[in-house]
Structures are given as C-alpha cells and as structure tokens.
Homo-oligomer: A and B are copies of this chain.
Amino acid sequence: MPNERPLRADAARNRAKILEAANRQIIAFGPEVPMESIAEDAGVAVGTLYRHFPTKADLVRAIVDSHLEEMAAEAEAAADRIGGGTSAVAEFITFWHMIMESAASNKAVKAAARELGASVDETEHLRRGQVAMERLIEAGKAEGGLRPDLAVEDCFIFFATVPLDEPVAVRERWFTLVIDGFRSGALREA
C-alpha cells in the first residue's frame, strides 16, 4: 500500500538536491562526511536533511545502495556478454578489476564493497549481482579457467578487503595473486 502523498514541489526539489550533494560528498569523502557538509553542498539547512532522512545512516544507505545497484547492473551486463567474443573468465576478470579501481577512486563504492563482505541487509541489488556473478563463475568453471570450488561468496569476501589505500602497483599485484588463487586447482582437480 504505497499511500505516500506526493511531495510538495519544493520538497521534491530539495530531496533531489540533497541526494545529488550526498552522492558527491560521499564519493569524495566517504560516509564519514559531516551532515553539515552535505547540507552546504546541497544549498539547504541541516534540518532539511533530517526531514527527508530521519538519520544520517538512512541517507548514507540510500547513496551506497545506489552504487550497489550500479555494480549489480554491471555484473549482469558482464554475464550477458557470455558467449560473445571474450571468454567468461576474461569477463570475470575485467569486471572485478573495474570494481576494484572504482572502489579506489570512489569512496561510496568503497563503502558499497565493504557491504559485500558483511551482507547485512540482503538487498535486492546484492541478490541480483549475486545471480549474475554465479552465471559468470559457472561459465568460467566450464571453460576450465576457474577452480571448481569457487563460490560467489569468495569474490565478495575478497573484494570487501581490497587494499584500497595502497598505490596502484600494490593493488595490481594483489589482484594478480587473488585471481591466481581463484584459478589455482582448476588444473589439478578439474
């Protein structure tokens, strides 16, 4: 029963401004950014933030969730590409590499990545991404490029802990080792 009476014009306008500002601020400074900063960026008073979002956590969740959704969409896109020119393993690797780099330059994605590990509230987005990732992984195993026991959770756990504050070179090295771990055994057992 979505009996939400429509927002007043100015309220709708402000809500949009708030979401945009929060997105900008959280991307740049992470969830720890003060509410005052978001309010200022949005050109609105703090009180207004609280009218639209009862608590800071709610606002942050809205933003982080939107990034989670984007990630899920990208995962689905990658899965849909299976059977095209590139191998599933290649798609898998490209996808996760992209997520890693996003998280490194976008504090909102970074926060979203953490949620992967602690899948607190089983968001719809998480589930969507999970399904897509399963498709990718199964295809990768079929190709013989991923270890037979690799699970979606493995990927989530790993990407919740990417060394984001280290220089690129370190991240790349980390990525190589992790991917090798995801592959290893693909040959032995199979």
Contact = CB atoms under 8 A, between A and B. Distances in A.
Interface of A: 117-118, 147, 153-154, 157-158, 160-163, 165-166, 170, 173-174, 177-178, 180-185
Given A157-B166, A161-B163, 20 more contacts: A117-B163, A117-B166, A118-B165, A118-B166, A147-B180, A153-B170, A153-B173, A154-B173, A154-B177, A157-B173, A157-B174, A158-B177, A161-B161, A177-B178, A177-B181, A178-B178, A178-B181, A180-B181, A180-B184, A180-B185
Contacts of A184: 180-181, 183-184
What is the oligomeric copy number? 2
A141 to B, nearest CB: 15
19 contacts: A117-B163, A117-B165, A117-B166, A118-B165, A147-B180, A153-B170, A153-B173, A154-B177, A157-B163, A157-B174, A158-B174, A177-B178, A177-B181, A177-B182, A178-B181, A180-B184, A181-B184, A183-B184, A184-B184
